[in-house]
Structure formats: structure tokens, C-alpha cells
Chains A and B, each alone.
Chain A
Amino acid sequence: MSSSNPQALLIPLLLAAIGALLFWAFWSGLTGHEGERLAALALERVPESGASNPVTSVLLNFRAYDTLLELAVLLAALLGIWSLGPAAAPYQPAALLLDSLVGWVVPMLIIAGGYLLWIGGQAPGGAFQAGALLGAAGVTLALSGRPNAGLPGEAWLRVLAALGTLVFALVGLTLMGVGLGFLTYPPALAKWLILTIETGATLSIGATLAAAFLGGRPRTTRPAEP
């Protein structure tokens, strides 16, 4: 539906008017508030949270429920992608230059991912960042012609994709079962619980992102050589 002339002008004008209101609201919100918001409260409770990186504390302790559901969103997207059809045919196998480069890049990405996972407790990093690197490793493998981006077959892939959320949910339910409350970590165990959850999440996120890049249900047949 092509926009006729009046309509082409109307929408930007309308949006400009809304924009003016939004800018005014933003200005008013910024100046009206002293500026602390949740920062002071969060930073104060970080030492009890099991991580010294405040963002990790928020993500995996204070607002862990959000993170659990966010992993579910990732899984839902993957399941949706799988339900729409099979993955595209793989790219042609890489020639020597790309192949050897990939031989260096992918292990480095994996190691970097592992590092980010570990360091996430103390410095910027964590499960999502590490998972993104693993996903990038998968994408690199896919682009260089590996049939399934180096991922295992469908059965194991399903386990991998669900693993992060499963570990997270089970930790939460177990904690509820022992009387502490859903996702209420005992301060002594908090660091290890966070690390366990993050490890599972990293693997899941990496596998999910790579599988999502493939764009459909994993193929089972091997491609013919060119």
C-alpha cells in the first residue's frame, strides 16, 4: 500500500508531536528525580548476592526470574523457527584459506567465551556474553560450510537448547522445595549456584543462537561434495 501524499506527511507530523511530548516527559523525569533510583539499593546488596559484578548480581540474583523467562523466550523463538521448516542447504565447504582461519578463530572464540563466563562474576561478562561468543563460533562454522554449524544432531541439540532454562528452573524449584523460596539463594551457596546456572545458560544460548542462524530444523543428510 503506497502512501499517498497527505499520508506521507501526516505520519511524520504525528510522530513529531508525540516526540515533543516524549522529550518533555524525559526532561521532566530526569530533572524531577534526585538521581539515585535503584542504584544505591542494588549496589548496597551486591556483596550478599554471590557476585561482585553488580550487573550479574541483578541479572542472576535480584531479578533472576526475568532472566529465567528470557531464556524461555530464546527457546520459544528457536522452537518457532524449527516449526517453520527445515534449515537452508549448507554453504559450500570452505577453501584452504578460510578453513585454516576458522581452525584458529573458533577455538579462540570458545576459550574467550569460557573466560567471559568465569569472569562475569567479577567484571563485565557473564552467560549472555559468553553465549554470544559461542553462537558466533557456530555462525563461523556454518559460514565456512559445516553442515550443522558444528552442532550435534537434533536429539542432542534439543537437550542443549533446553539445558540452560532447565538448570535454572530446577535450581529455583529445589530452593522452593527446601523452604527457601523460588530462586532464593542461600548467601553461602550463591556464588556456585550462579556459576552453575550461568554455565548451563552459556551452552544453551550458544547452541540456540547458532541453531537459529541455521534458520530451520537441523538437516539429517550430509551434503554432497561439490
Chain B
Amino acid sequence: MLDPLALAVALPLLGALLVTMLPGWSRTLGMLTALATTGVALWLTVTVWSGEGLRSDLGGWGVPLGIGLRADGLAAALVAMANLVALAISINATGYFGAAESSRKFWPLWLLLWTALNGLFLAADLFNLYVMLELLGLSAAALGALTGTREAAEANLRYLLVGLLGSMTYLLGVALLYTAYGVLDLELVAEALTPGPVAWSALALMVGGLLLKSALFPLHFWLPPAHANAPAPVSAALSALVVKAAIYLVLRLWLDLFDGIVTLPAAMLLGLLGAGAVLWGSWRALRAERLKLLAAYSTVAQIGYLFLFLPLLTAAPDGDTRERLLTALVLLALTHGFAKAGFFLAAGLVQKSTGHDRIRELGGAAQSLPAATFTIGLAGVALIGLPPSGTFFAKWILVGQAIALGQWWWALVAMAGTLLAAAYVFRVLARAFNREPTPKCFLTDPRTEIPALLLAALSALGVGLAAQPIAVLLGAGV
């Protein structure tokens, strides 16, 4: 009788409305809504996990006339992650904003953003997705500017404009699909789709528009300032959730809607951009002066990893390989969601208590803020990909499948990215644990240090990956 799909969207919406009308109660109502929505989301996930998949036809009309909601495994996994992260952010926000004016501004927009997230993951209608994308973009941009600084307003205006360009492009794709196929439901369009100019244009427009919103290199330019200048709970939401939603949509379109249309070269292009994102993002993160900027660039890099999977998925035959790759991708997305959110929240605490988030001056943070430092450490483990984090398993599968499918270059990119991630995470931790002023440069004695560095890198990565060839080698001599 009660429909978890519709509830997952209606509850945060109701909360947002109540908080708008009764701003004095925003924290209480906001937390109640957060708990209720997370409860529904988990109920939804468990139902999907133990059964088939959920489907809901709103208004009772059934597709193609009405709008449908759908939760399959992928959607349920992301819904679970998003709602748990959102709950954590909500709890953090009650403390971060306190009872001040910003709290009243934060809660209604935050609950509307939550509505858009759930609605987006559960949507099965192309135009409905457009409305959700717009709601997401508007509330995210407004939330990002809550710090009140000029930089925040500039960065979020840029984010808003880029987002609008993306949605408008997406909408044209939807219009073309309706012109040719006369339906708006994802499944129905997927069935009707045939290769041709309409399919190619729609693919280019819709994925292109969404790539702007996913901040894939080189369309990532709006992300670092927007995420770095937002209040910490908002940065956590932006990096961990909002960007994920756009990537989820790209995935959904690529794998479900345009399944027969996508070509390997197109996927390779996206993979190449992903590689650029991994390398460029990790490099900029290493050079970042501020903790939040580092985290934002790290997000750019992690987004790149997700796109590295696309050429592999497109090249992989249906069945086991595809399943493993998809699992790995989802693992990566989920882990990053949790990790980045935790990182930003901890960074927010650091910024709040020390008044700044400059990495160079983080000295002694471990002593004064042990929990925050430990959080950054744990999040770092997940960002780098040390076992037993989800990232480790995901990268393991990525590298293994890349070699197996003959696209070994992605493995190199993944390894390089991992090394850079290790570098920038340890840079932060080293400053946090160290009371002394830190040395000016990384290498003090190249001749002794570089070989040691290479050996350590080989041990951490090379040998493990070479396990299979080594086994073959050992077997060959027998």
C-alpha cells in the first residue's frame, strides 16, 4: 500500500515545505525528515536486494502515458549510499550551522536537494529526469553560495550557468527522441531505439549535457572553486552526491538506453578524458594549498576513474565480465561517496576550529583534532585504494580487466593515479601529525631516495599486480 519509491521523494519534499513555512523549527523538522527519508531509502534497498526490483506507475496510468519510477540494483545501491551520506551530512549540519540564520537558509534547500537526488536515482522517465536535474542544479548552486563570500557567489553562478547549459542540451536530446519514437519512458525508448542520426544526436546531446554536470575533464573547470568555497556539509554533498547523480545518469544512458548504439571509439574517448581527469586532478590535488581545494581536485580525479570503466564495459561481452566491471564501478562510486563526504566534513571541522584550511599550516591538527585527522586518514585510505577499502577491490578489478581485455593502458593510468593519491593524502597527514615546519621540497637526496621510492612503489603495487604473470612464469619452468 505504501509505495517506498514515491515516499523516498515525497518525504524530503514535505520536509522542505514544512521547514520553509516554519523556519524556527528548521533543525528539528530537518532532522526528523532526514531520519524518515533514510529509513524509507533503506527499506527500499533491502526490498530490492531480497527481491526483483521495484516499479511504480504514478497516477495509475502506466507508461507510456504516465510517469514511472523504477529501482533496480544499481539505483538501489546509489539510493542507499546517498541517503546514508545525506543523513550524516544532516547530523553534521545541525552542529555546523548551529541555530544561526544560515541554518534557516540551509535546511529547506538541502531537503529539496535530497528530494532531487532520490527522484533522480529512481526516475524512469526522460523528461522527469530533466526536471530533477534542474531541481538538483538550482538547490546545489544556492546551497554552495551560503558562505556569503564573493568567491562562493562567483563559483556557484558559474556552476549554475554550466549546469543550465547541460540541462538544456539534455532536453534537446529528449525532444529529438520524442520526435522519433513518441515515448518518454526509458525502457520503452530503449526498446524502440535503432541506430541512426536520431540515436547518435540524442546520445551526443544527452551524454554531452550530462558530462558538463559530471565535471569530466576538461569540463571540470567549474568544480574546484564551487566545491571548495561552499560550507563544509554542502561541499560534502556536492562532491559525494550531486556529481554522482550526473555520472549515474551517464551510466544509465550508456548501458541501458543507448546500449546498441554506443561504439567502442566513443567509449574510448570518454575513457581518455577520464584518464586525463585522473592524472590532472591528482596532480592539482598534490599542488593544492587548501584542504578543501585538494578534496575538490581529488573528486575530479575520482570521477575520472569512474569513466575509465566505460571503454571496458563497452568492450566486455555480456555476462560475467560485465557484472564484475559494473560491481567494481559501483563499489568505486559508493566508496568515494562515503570517503569524500567524510573528508569534507572533517575538513570543515578543521577549518572551523583553526579558522583556515591551509595545508601548510595544519601542524598539530592531529593533537588538537584527533578524530578529524583520523577521519582524513581513513578517507585517505579509501581514496588511495588501500585494502580493505572498496576502492582497492574496484581498482583491482579495473586493472585486471583492463589487462584481460587488452586495454592495458588504463591500468597504467590507475596506478599512476593511485600513486598521486597516496602522495597527496600523505602530504596532508604528514602536516597534520607534524609540529615542526615542514621541509621545502619532497626529495632531499635524490640519489638515495628515488631508488627507495621506486622500490616501495613496486612493492605496494607492482608485485601484487604482477602476481598472475609471476605464477605463469613459475608454472612455465616446470
Contacts and interface: CB of A to CB of B under 8 A. Distances in A.
User: A–B direct touch, CB within 8 Å, in complex?
Assistant: yes
Interface of A: 18, 21-22, 24-26, 28-30, 32-33, 36-38, 41-42, 45, 61-66, 68-70, 72-73, 75-77, 79-80, 82-84, 158-159, 161-162, 165-166, 169-170, 172-173, 176-177, 179-185
Contacts of A72: 13, 16, 112, 115, 135
Nearest to A165: B17
12 contacts: A21-B197, A25-B196, A25-B200, A38-B182, A41-B64, A69-B131, A69-B132, A73-B138, A79-B108, A83-B105, A84-B145, A169-B17
Given A79-B112, A181-B60, A73 B65 contact: no
B67 A83 contact: no
A83 B21 contact: no
Interface stretch (B1-9, B86-94, B236-244): B1-9
Interface in B45-90: 56-61, 64-67
B179 A66 contact: no
B198 A29 contact: yes
A38 B141 CA distance: 35
Contacts of A75: 16-17, 20, 108, 112
A218 B146 CA distance: 18
B119 interface: yes
B423 interface: no
A83 B180 contact: no
B183 to A, nearest CB: 7
A163 to B, nearest CB: 8
Given A26-B179, A76-B112, A83-B146, A63 B66 contact: yes
Contacts of A66: 67, 125, 127-128, 131
B361 interface: no
B61 A62 contact: yes
Given A28-B198, A73-B135, A182 B10 contact: yes
A177 B7 CA distance: 11
A191 B125 CA distance: 25
B198 A173 contact: no
Given A26-B179, A38-B64, A79-B112, 15 more contacts: A21-B201, A22-B201, A25-B201, A32-B196, A61-B61, A65-B128, A66-B127, A66-B128, A75-B112, A79-B108, A79-B109, A169-B14, A172-B6, A176-B1, A176-B7
Interface of B: 1-3, 6-7, 10, 13-14, 16-17, 20-21, 23, 56-61, 64-67, 105, 108-109, 112, 115, 119, 125, 127-128, 131-132, 134-135, 138-139, 141-142, 145-146, 153, 172, 176, 178-184, 196-198, 200-202, 204
A182 B172 CA distance: 29
A172 B181 contact: no
Residue of B125, B182, B183 most packed against chain A (CB within 10 A) = B182
Nearest to B183: A38
B14 to A, nearest CB: 5
B171 to A, nearest CB: 13
Contact of A77 (B138, B153, B182, B204): B138
A24 B197 contact: yes
A62 B7 CA distance: 19
B409 to A, nearest CB: 28
Nearest to A27: B197
Contacts of B146: 83
B182 A37 contact: yes
Contacts of B64: 38, 41
A122 B134 CA distance: 30
B197 A80 contact: no
A84 B157 CA distance: 11
